[in-house]
Structure 1
């Protein structure tokens, strides 16, 4: 069975701009961000890519025409070969009724209420209804799908199935939390033998979305919502939260069954409605590190308290011992470690596709698992890797190098051993290296195939990368790569033994803080990526060789891009990024690239 997962809408950004004023930094605020496609063949995930990597528009909401075509081309398939198309949203007539009922009962002036009803009606009929999505697919691909072969999967269930599939399809409890799905922002439940049971009494509507609230705080601090929440997370490490915390003292209320609410509901159509409240709590906005860090620390503590409350309720509702945390809120890795450590669960996993980048995978899995043809069949859990996107052979790399011939110089190294040995020696110095190999990783974080690498033993290497390479704020921390077998020697891993997707943060052991200062945040923690020879053989070999040369057990890994641009996908993308920054060397597969000496 062949299942295509597809997320993205041709006119959603236009509709939000025209009817909700969502332009500029607000354009990715609500629906359709992280567009992309995935392909499941007989239960095996063979391809997945985000549309932004191909159309080069960060956080794009557009219909994923490039992603869809690439997935099919990679597998050698045609549209007519597809058995099911899975959409990770289900805006049914029932959902529309709920949305409209909520507006009718909201405490709003009649004129504003009528405007909002009209705008939601346009969004439904022109973009997100089943009929609109089918028409959009046909218009953009030239293929008209059979409506009976299109499965509309509720958004949060797609999130749950992403985590379930990546974690090995074992029975599990789950917590899903994000900005909003169709009408909800968070829910909990169980998955047993692929069947989802939702604990309906735990569901929370979008008007009390901790994800939207955190995005509102992100915007208030001058960052891009649905994109820069990790900046707030990083800032929170610079100070302790205020006591009492105004968010917990005056805004958030905790209830039974893991529910919570805000004393003042969010205006989900007005992303700046809480700005006056934030200034009431913290004083007039100041564009200073101290002010922003104080707000960020309070927001981080609020998120921790709310999610801990939810997990405690989930513990009481299930006898399962495994926990999945998915949705955009699960990318707050600073929250994830204490959340797990304070729980009774034996393990907790957050996938590489926890945000909306992964919902095409979960929708496809949901459609496959629940299809009548698969009823009662035993399903083995395939090995899942995040390296699911395009890759480029020597011929493609050489062509790109020839296209940049006057601006770069290069040499071909003789396979893995020579690449590893040569690059490890370069990394003993204070240099920055672009690293490009194999298939593009999936999800918001570079996991070693499209990465920037550096030696973390230099205290100022973070400042060099932030200012001269990434062109971003100097407070931003960098993640360390460490061999899984070495992780517990360097970091306080607690009950975790691995963190392959950079979704957990751990304290650096005191004796290693001066060894890897470039990868140690101001609060003494690191967002760790653990490596194995099975998952990333060349990168693991590089780290092992580097450690043998330096006695430094980690390398800095940050995404191969500059601020505001997607992670590089093609060799040409990598060369453009290399030439537009002060990266010292570029490794393109087996090729070592430097900048041409143009001084003459």
Structure 2
């Protein structure tokens, strides 16, 4: 059985721009962000790529034409070969009626209610209804799927299934939290034998969305919502939350049924509805590190308190010992470690596709799991097949050489074999240099997981500033993540009950004995967001790290995404060469080519 998962809308950006002014710093109200496609064949994930990697528009909401074309070409199939088309949204007329009922019951003025209900009706008819989505698919691909072969998967169930599938299809409790789905922002439940049970009393409406509130705080601090929340996480390390914290004591209310609410609900028709409240709590906005870090630390504590409250209730409701945390809020890695350590769960997984980048995987997996032709034996086979995040396009030697032909007058190229790549790069990294690392298939999701990375030696105290200013062109307070061998990680970091962190979704304190040895990878609060490496998962990168350790005694390498601020992670060899030439990256590894500038 072949299942194609699709996320993205042709007109959603235009619609929200026209109706809510959702452009630039206000873009977080868009649906379909992180547009992507994914392909399952007989339960095996064979291809997945985000549209932004191909159309070069970061966080694109556009219909994923390029991503779909690549997935089908990678598998050597056409639309006619696809058995099921899965969409990670299920906007039904009932959903629209419930949204309208919520607007009618809101405290908005009558004219504002009328306008907002009209906007929601138009959004439904023009963009997100089943018919609108199928019409969009047909207009952009030339193929209209048979409705009998289409599955519309509720957004949060797609998130939950993403975590379930990528964690090996093992029974688990789950928490999903993001900005909003069709109507809700967060819920809990469990998955047993592929069947999802939602604990209905834990469902929280969009007007009390922790994801949207955190995005509103991101905007208030001068960053782009639904894109720059990680900057707020970075800022939080520079201050302690105020005592008392008004976000916790005045804004957040915890309920006995695991839900939480805000004393002042969010208003989706007012992008700045809480700005005055933030200034009431913290004083007039100041573009200073002292002010912004204090607000960020307060917001971080609020998020931690809210999700811990949900997990405490989930521990009582489910007797399963594994926890899946999915949705955009799950990318808040500062929260994940204390969330797990404070729980009774024996394991907690946050997938590489936890945000909307992964919901095409979840939608496809949900459609496959719930198809009558999917047998238990098929599920067992899929569960025994390891899933890698390296799911996107790769480029062979002819493709790399063709790209290099366009740069011959600007670069010097050395062709190396595999062992020479490891040896040469390890020796280069003993110095204060920055290296672009490009190999294999593009990783899936927002983290740089070692195939499209920028590497450096964390032993230099000023290496973070060098990368931030000369390469990434971004704020100086931003930290960098270290690569570490999985077997050595507990010696260097206080990992508690975690034994690995392959997707940079957990943050750990650096042990005192190592802080001075890897200063470039230690944040101001003494922590690091680590990626653990194994020989099986990333053989050449792991070999490079082992050789680097032999040469230097430094147990980690800095790893950050191969891009500059405002651009997607590079995908093609030409993308990599353009980024290399447009920054002060010293060397580029492109497959087996070592490249320097003339």
- Give the shorter-chain TM-score range: over 0.9
Cα deviation for residue 137 of structure 1 reads: 0.3
Q: SS at the partner of 2:5?
A: strand
Q: Deviations over 1:411-430 (max 9, x none)?
A: 1012x211000000000000
> Runs of 5+ in structure 1 lacking a partner?
none
The separation in 1 between residues aligned to 2:148 and 2:104, in whole angstroms, is 33
Q: SS at the partner of 2:399?
A: helix
User: 2:66 aligned with 1:63, yes or no?
Assistant: no
Paired residue for 1:438? 440
Paired residue for 2:358? 358
Paired residue for 2:575? 573
The separation in 2 between residues aligned to 1:41 and 1:378, in whole angstroms, is 11
2:28–2:215 Cα contact (<8 Å) kept: no
Cα deviation for residue 109 of structure 1 reads: 1.0
Aligned pairs for 1:292-311 within 5 A: 292-311=292-311
User: 2:122 aligned with 1:122, yes or no?
Assistant: yes
Cα deviation for residue 30 of structure 1 reads: 2.9
Paired residue for 1:533? 535
Q: SS at the partner of 1:98?
A: helix
The separation in 2 between residues aligned to 1:547 and 1:257, in whole angstroms, is 50
1:185–1:211 Cα contact (<8 Å) kept: yes
Q: TM-score, normalised on structure 2?
A: 0.99
Q: SS at the partner of 1:372?
A: coil
User: 2:376 aligned with 1:373, yes or no?
Assistant: no
Q: Deviations over 1:367-389 (max 9, x none)?
A: 00001111555512121000000
Paired residue for 1:36? 36
The separation in 2 between residues aligned to 1:320 and 1:453, in whole angstroms, is 39
Paired residue for 2:524? 522
User: 2:213 aligned with 1:210, yes or no?
Assistant: no
Q: SS at the partner of 1:258?
A: coil
Paired residue for 2:450? 448
1:438–1:589 Cα contact (<8 Å) kept: yes
The separation in 2 between residues aligned to 1:572 and 1:392, in whole angstroms, is 11
Q: Deviations over 1:82-109 (max 9, x none)?
A: 0000000000111111111111111111
Paired residue for 2:326? 326
The separation in 2 between residues aligned to 1:413 and 1:375, in whole angstroms, is 47
Cα deviation for residue 27 of structure 1 reads: 2.5
Aligned pairs for 1:100-139 within 5 A: 100-139=100-139
1:28–1:59 Cα contact (<8 Å) kept: no
Cα deviation for residue 506 of structure 1 reads: 0.3
Paired residue for 1:564? 566
Q: Deviations over 1:210-240 (max 9, x none)?
A: 0000000000000010010010001000111
User: 2:505 aligned with 1:503, yes or no?
Assistant: yes
User: 2:177 aligned with 1:174, yes or no?
Assistant: no
Q: Deviations over 1:118-148 (max 9, x none)?
A: 1111110000000000000000000110011
The separation in 2 between residues aligned to 1:534 and 1:402, in whole angstroms, is 33
Q: SS at the partner of 2:276?
A: helix
The separation in 1 between residues aligned to 2:588 and 2:562, in whole angstroms, is 11
Cα deviation for residue 447 of structure 1 reads: 0.1
The separation in 2 between residues aligned to 1:436 and 1:244, in whole angstroms, is 47
User: 2:385 aligned with 1:395, yes or no?
Assistant: no
The separation in 2 between residues aligned to 1:97 and 1:373, in whole angstroms, is 34
The separation in 1 between residues aligned to 2:76 and 2:53, in whole angstroms, is 21
2:436–2:455 Cα contact (<8 Å) kept: yes
- Give the stretch that moved more between structures: 41-50 or 262-271: 262-271
Q: Deviations over 1:432-469 (max 9, x none)?
A: 00000000000001100000000000010000000000
Q: TM-score, normalised on structure 1?
A: 0.99
Q: Deviations over 1:274-309 (max 9, x none)?
A: 001000000000000000000000000000000000
Paired residue for 2:431? 429
Cα deviation for residue 5 of structure 1 reads: 0.3
The separation in 2 between residues aligned to 1:340 and 1:297, in whole angstroms, is 20
Match of 2:413 among 410, 415, 426: 410
The separation in 1 between residues aligned to 2:421 and 2:223, in whole angstroms, is 39
The separation in 2 between residues aligned to 1:519 and 1:493, in whole angstroms, is 16
Paired residue for 2:201? 201
Paired residue for 1:593? 595
Paired residue for 1:554? 556
Q: Compared with structure 1, are the counterparts of its residues 571 and 298 closer, same or farther at alpha carbon in structure 2 (3 Å cutoff)? A: same
> Runs of 5+ in structure 2 lacking a partner?
none
Q: SS at the partner of 2:40?
A: strand
1:481–1:528 Cα contact (<8 Å) kept: yes
1:160–1:176 Cα contact (<8 Å) kept: yes
Paired residue for 2:272? 272
Query: How many corresponding residue pairs?
Result: 595
The separation in 2 between residues aligned to 1:44 and 1:8, in whole angstroms, is 23
